[in-house]
Structure 1
Amino acid sequence: MVILYFITFLPFVLAGSNCTLPNFSVGDFNITSEQHFKDTMKQEEIFLLGISAKWCTHCCQIEPIYAEVFEALEKLTPKIKFVRIDMSKHNFIKKHIPGTDQLPLLYVIKKGKFYRHEDLMKVENIVSFLDKIYMPVSTINSEDELEAFFEAPRENKNFLRVLGIFYENDDSEDSPLKEYEKTAISLANWIGSKMGILTNKTLIKELKAKGSDVVRCYNCLALKKKDANIKILDLEISQNIKEWITTAGVGIVEELTGYNFQVYKEIALPMLVMFLDKHNVNQDYYINILTKVARDFDEGIKFVWMDGTDPMIKQRKKKLGLVTEILPSMAFNVLDDRILPYKEGQPITESSIRLFVSDFIENRLASKNIADIRPNPELESKYSDTPIVTMDEFEEKVLSEGTDVLLLLYSSYQNEDSLNLAPYFNKVAKRFKELNYPHVKVYRMDTATQTVHKNVKIDHVPIIYLFPAYHKNPPYVQYTNEAKVPPMMFFVEKYVDIKFQLPELPHLSPDQIGPYWEQKAQLSPEKQERVAAHNERRNWDL
């Protein structure tokens, strides 16, 4: 399989030099054989299982976290044991647990069933996960407990609460109550969520009589996200409990994070992932247009966004076929091994997203292979007179006051428009250098290999901006005229802060000016007008 359907938040195994695991001293005991493991499964109703190996660098790095987890377990009542397995010695564990090619692994084992925890980097999340497996739902016995259950902590933006109200307390295996409890266990990795249960008939009657926002019917589910209205599922009408919780628990468009990763996994629908620069001032614009599209297609596709500047997410982005640094970018993350990226560098608008989604639904998108980024020799030669600016140099060369900067953002990766523009923009750079205006600089930036500055809006390439010498805050002046040398040069003259005046024919070198007038004089009046329209100042006063 080329890609994983869900973009995992677990760290990769870091192979390399061996590290020294302290004999797995963190934990209650180490598994010494396969029989020892089987005996432990029989004896312990619930325990925490950590799987590591001495050849796994990241396993060494996570030991301090395990030490904190062990301390937390010591304080629990009843005590839950932390069991360790060194997979470099005991490879038999592969027969019992799938996915042991990624280490370290952490499981809660309860009554012989394995529940994998996804977030190994936070002690509180590990303990919370264990607590949810041990007691999937908390019982509500009073109005005060109900109020406290739905009270969102101020600092927890990932707050989610689900309460099951079951007046008809059917305890059979196929009952809604049992389905609700099973759902609670399956969503234990959903960080920030808690699930409760209310079965006290007297309390249910009292709350319903008072017109409670939560208890609106005798058998229902109530779901509350932070700063949102309570949603209700009447179990007399629908009993698709797990599907309703996972669907109602996420918004139309959300950031895909470790917090909600589990719920998207449970929804199991194709996802359109938009990768953004989280710090870019234009981020909300793209989320808004994605949201408009999502409202029309949300039934069969989930829409999410991720921070495309994050180093680990960049690797996931490339696995979806997005190989450049261009942001925003989009791709479908699907249930099979197809790679379906939106063409990088093309404009991203509401209509283009709609078309992309429609093409996916109608199966009109061709699967692509992940291509390596290779510099285009033809493109480099065409831009030979235009100096490159990198992200590291951007503040100094482009945003420093005192210099008027014309900047081309282009892509060296499979972008025909960037190739077509090259001879014209390169001529602009060459002529400004020859004219020697000291306060005017012309640069290019390759968005295939460089991250764009957070203040710069870029939804397609190529795109040309002017950064005036004393106005370095957005919005910047964008060039939108023809891809020709004279209008580009007169555009710079018009919008710079440090004023200058270009010659009549700024795109021509001194030895070309005389022949131009001579050749023009030999033309008919009609042709002279056409030539002048393309070359002379009077036709390009923008």
Structure 2
Amino acid sequence: MLSVTVRATQSDLIEDSQDFENQNVETQQEFSQEEQSAPTTTELPKRQLPPLCKEELPTLSVKDVLLTSANWDSFKKKNELFILGVSDSECPLCCQSEPLLKELQDLFQNNKYLYKGKKIQIARIDTSKKNQFLEKEEITFENVPKVIIIKDQRFYGFDQPLDRMDLLLHQINRILNPLITLKTEEEIELFLDHEKFWDADYQTKFFKNNQDVVPRMENHYSQLRYKTRVICFIYDKQEYREEYKNLKSDAKYLATRDNLRIGFVDNQRLIKKMKAKYSVRMFSSIAMSSLVMKRYDGELLNYDLTSEDHIFIHNWINKHTLKEVDELNNESYRIYELLRQPMFLTFVDFEDQRYSKACYKAVEVMRQVAPKFSHIMGFLYVNNTQFYLRKRVLGVTWDELPSMAFNMIDNRVIPYPRGKPIERDILFDWFDDIVKGKVSVKTTGFDRIVNDTDIQTYLLNNTIVANRENFYEIAFSEGFDVVVLFYTTEVVHNVQRNIALQFNLVADAFIKLQMQDYIKVVSYDINVNAFPEGIEFTTDLPQIYFFPAYHKKAPFKKYIGQGIAGSILTYIQKHADTEFQYPVDVSKIGMPREKNEQEENQNQQQSQETQENQQNQEDQIIDLDKENNSESMNKEEIDQSIEENSAQQQEQLENLQEESIHEDL
């Protein structure tokens, strides 16, 4: 770990902090999942708990053991199966997994859902600590909180909502019992009816005497669209033992798919009977071992296991679960995430009369193009309304439909040119050019319109400006601690501007400390450059991420705290790989100044003078009234005099009120 000497005088940072006192900004804004209003008093309001969180269950409170370098090896060897909860003690959103883990822990402690007659342990990892055992085994977590099932030292992530205990128990059961052995023709026919709920899933030892979740699972299954059944027929289990081993392994990996069931048949007489009945619909002409799928639309597909072409079974299943051109929604997106294949997306709106005819035609053209390229990419059409913001990230900044874009797995994007005809032969040529590298990848110009033209020039002028082309070079440079503010110029937003001003103070502090050679303070406009790879897509901006000098692996640290310079500076010092000390207390930088005794006296004096002026005005009005009665003063002159004095008094009151508000801020 690098250690440096800080070169800055105490007065430098103090002056920097005092310079900010004259800025009328909201400094108490917090980064949170929901935007909060800036408080009107110096005391912060009580923080509202995120969804699912409970006051009595703070982050990392539910556990049987906290894993460290000292106990990691012994614990995983002792426990074939355990649940791992990954959280960050400094992340206020990580409490969302605690109720789920608590409910699970209570079930285990009441001797429900046992494994080999023993209680399943719940282990925890705190990613805010520098866990060397994770780095040693190259274990990374893309986001937190995360719930993981670990069986025989293999990791199976739980990617469902954190309030679905039934789905978590279902996935554990599927990992323990990955294949359903089918013994009769009747069982095979029943299994292939993918619309029916397969209640045999819950006849296992794991679910023995624990049938509470079955009704909820049955209701959940009925609402799924992409229901899929797969049967693996292996005529000679000894000859195809490697394929059988891979099948079991892939079935455990696919346990995360709640719409999939995988069956297995090795009875030779039964296999002959099924081949005679279904022929080429299930088997090739000469093969007796086959992988058969009943897709959600009723189509039967098969793959010859005796073929010399080597395939990954889980890839074949995921790829063929969807049609060659299919709809992208939340359920199909989860399937495609498992494939990790480039996608060509067509944005459509079949309900909009202006575009519906062209959208139907575009999908039909996709069906003509897909057979040539579907082995290397997926073709999906997507509802423009639901995925409007995603469309922007893919470089499609116009509203006309249909629109198209190519999303590569390395986060590069290629939008189909605006106004270019959507025809089969034109698309063939365009795709050929992409495969040959003749089409340039989009790196900038993702903005629909830039509205906040001043934020970078005036409010972030001390920061390093990053874009899509140089972001990785800047943020992932080893040896540099890097803090990045992600913001958007699409809107002019006061809260974002205030945070930007505070972030600029952070950059200015490190300039005065002469630490630019070790710590980089960077700003990145999402509107112009879109999200870089590894940064979670969100509309909740701005966001601050931190990349330690020698720990550039995901999950990347997200700053969640007060949006003031002092808090950000403290966070950087705590998490930086470069060890350093500030020469002065930086926690107050960016905070509103407290009133001193002299200022209080001045305010009281001004208030007293204002009251005296008000009294003088009232006396003057009375005198004018008397003079009017005695000398019959012209009424218009009296009214004019009163208005002038009232205006003067009102101006004094407004000035005092403005000064008071300024001091409060």
| Global fold match (TM > 0.5) | yes
Tell whether the 8 Å contact from 2:181 to 2:264 is kept in structure 1 after alignment.
yes
Match of 2:124 in 1: 84
Equivalent of 1:274 in 338, 346, 349: 346
Match of 2:264 in 1: 197
Instruction: Tell me how far 1:163 sits from its aligned partner.
Output: 0.9
What is the one-letter code of the residue matched to 1:198?
A: V
Tell whether the 8 Å contact from 2:325 to 2:380 is kept in structure 1 after alignment.
yes
- Would you say 1:256 and 2:314 are equivalent positions? no
Tell whether the 8 Å contact from 2:343 to 2:408 is kept in structure 1 after alignment.
yes
- Would you say 1:303 and 2:344 are equivalent positions? no
What SS does the aligned partner of 1:103 have?
Answer: coil
CA deviations 1:431-460 (Å, max 9, x no partner) are xxxxxxxxxxxxxxxxx9xxxxxxxxxxxx
Instruction: Tell me how far 1:41 sits from its aligned partner.
Output: 0.8
Instruction: Tell me how far 1:226 sits from its aligned partner.
Output: 2.0
Tell whether the 8 Å contact from 1:278 to 1:308 is kept in structure 2 after alignment.
no
Equivalent of 2:183 in 137, 141, 150: 141
The 5 A counterparts of 1:86-485 are 86-88=126-128, 91-92=131-132, 94-95=134-135, 96=137, 98-121=139-162, 122-153=164-195, 155=222, 156-170=224-238, 175-211=242-278, 214=282, 217-238=287-308, 240-241=310-311, 242=313, 243-261=315-333, 263-265=335-337, 267-277=339-349, 280=352, 282=356, 284-310=360-386, 313-324=387-398, 326-344=400-418, 348-350=422-424, 352-371=426-445, 373=447, 375=449
Relative to structure 1, the CA distance from residue 225 to residue 38 in structure 2 (aligned partners, 3 Å threshold; closer, same or farther) is same
Instruction: Tell me how far 1:90 sits from its aligned partner.
Output: 6.7
Match of 1:5 in 2: none
CA deviations 1:278-326 (Å, max 9, x no partner) are 764625444333222223432333212333433xx44543333234555
Tell whether the 8 Å contact from 1:276 to 1:305 is kept in structure 2 after alignment.
yes
Instruction: Tell me how far 1:196 sits from its aligned partner.
Output: 1.6
Relative to structure 1, the CA distance from residue 57 to residue 97 in structure 2 (aligned partners, 3 Å threshold; closer, same or farther) is farther
Tell whether the 8 Å contact from 1:47 to 1:80 is kept in structure 2 after alignment.
yes
Instruction: Tell me how far 1:111 sits from its aligned partner.
Output: 1.1
Give the Cα separation in 1 of the matches to 2:92 and 2:423: 44
Compute the TM-score of the two structures, normalised by the length of structure 1.
Answer: 0.57
Give the Cα separation in 1 of the matches to 2:143 and 2:337: 18
Give the Cα separation in 2 of the matches to 1:342 and 1:305: 14
What is the one-letter code of the residue matched to 1:218?
A: M
Tell whether the 8 Å contact from 1:139 to 1:198 is kept in structure 2 after alignment.
yes
Tell whether the 8 Å contact from 1:30 to 1:83 is kept in structure 2 after alignment.
yes
Give the Cα separation in 1 of the matches to 2:74 and 2:381: 45
What is the one-letter code of the residue matched to 1:302?
A: G
Give the Cα separation in 1 of the matches to 2:61 and 2:265: 39
Instruction: Tell me how far 1:203 sits from its aligned partner.
Output: 2.9
| Higher normalized contact order (CA 8 Å, seq sep 6+, divided by chain length) | 2
Instruction: Tell me how far 1:370 sits from its aligned partner.
Output: 2.9
Gaps of 5+ in 1: 1-11, 378-412, 414-447, 449-542
Give the Cα separation in 1 of the matches to 2:393 and 2:299: 37
Is the deviation greater in 60-69 or in 154-163? 60-69
What SS does the aligned partner of 2:442 have?
Answer: coil
What SS does the aligned partner of 2:236 have?
Answer: coil
Give the Cα separation in 2 of the matches to 1:195 and 1:296: 29
Tell whether the 8 Å contact from 2:348 to 2:402 is kept in structure 1 after alignment.
yes
The 5 A counterparts of 1:37-48 are 37-48=72-83
Give the Cα separation in 2 of the matches to 1:13 and 1:117: 24
CA deviations 1:396-441 (Å, max 9, x no partner) are xxxxxxxxxxxxxxxxx9xxxxxxxxxxxxxxxxxxxxxxxxxxxx
What SS does the aligned partner of 1:132 have?
Answer: helix
Instruction: Tell me how far 1:32 sits from its aligned partner.
Output: 5.0
Give the Cα separation in 1 of the matches to 2:95 and 2:401: 35
What is the one-letter code of the residue matched to 1:181?
A: K
Relative to structure 1, the CA distance from residue 129 to residue 325 in structure 2 (aligned partners, 3 Å threshold; closer, same or farther) is farther
Match of 1:33 in 2: 68
Match of 1:55 in 2: 90
Give the Cα separation in 1 of the matches to 2:436 and 2:56: 52
What is the one-letter code of the residue matched to 2:229?
A: R
What SS does the aligned partner of 1:34 have?
Answer: coil
Higher helix share: 2
Is the deviation greater in 217-226 or in 269-278? 269-278
Gaps of 5+ in 2: 1-30, 36-46, 50-54, 197-221, 452-489, 491-526, 528-665
Identity between Structure 1 and Structure 2 (%): 25
Structure (1 or 2) with the larger CA radius of gyration: 2
Instruction: Tell me how far 1:227 sits from its aligned partner.
Output: 2.8
Tell whether the 8 Å contact from 1:322 to 1:329 is kept in structure 2 after alignment.
yes
Relative to structure 1, the CA distance from residue 48 to residue 90 in structure 2 (aligned partners, 3 Å threshold; closer, same or farther) is farther
What SS does the aligned partner of 1:222 have?
Answer: strand
Give the Cα separation in 1 of the matches to 2:100 and 2:364: 39
Tell whether the 8 Å contact from 1:332 to 1:341 is kept in structure 2 after alignment.
yes
CA deviations 1:60-97 (Å, max 9, x no partner) are 33444445555777743435443333333574564256
Instruction: Tell me how far 1:327 sits from its aligned partner.
Output: 4.5
What is the one-letter code of the residue matched to 1:51?
A: V
What SS does the aligned partner of 2:70 have?
Answer: helix
Is the deviation greater in 45-54 or in 327-336? 327-336
Relative to structure 1, the CA distance from residue 255 to residue 238 in structure 2 (aligned partners, 3 Å threshold; closer, same or farther) is farther
Tell whether the 8 Å contact from 1:142 to 1:203 is kept in structure 2 after alignment.
yes
Aligned residue pairs: how many? 365
What SS does the aligned partner of 1:188 have?
Answer: helix
Give the Cα separation in 2 of the matches to 1:190 and 1:131: 13
What SS does the aligned partner of 1:223 have?
Answer: strand
Tell whether the 8 Å contact from 1:189 to 1:262 is kept in structure 2 after alignment.
no
Give the Cα separation in 2 of the matches to 1:135 and 1:278: 42
Give the Cα separation in 1 of the matches to 2:146 and 2:426: 41
Relative to structure 1, the CA distance from residue 28 to residue 58 in structure 2 (aligned partners, 3 Å threshold; closer, same or farther) is closer
Q: Which runs of 4+ in 1 moved over 6 A?
A: 15-18, 71-74
Relative to structure 1, the CA distance from residue 308 to residue 239 in structure 2 (aligned partners, 3 Å threshold; closer, same or farther) is same
Report the aligned-residue RMSD.
Answer: 3.8
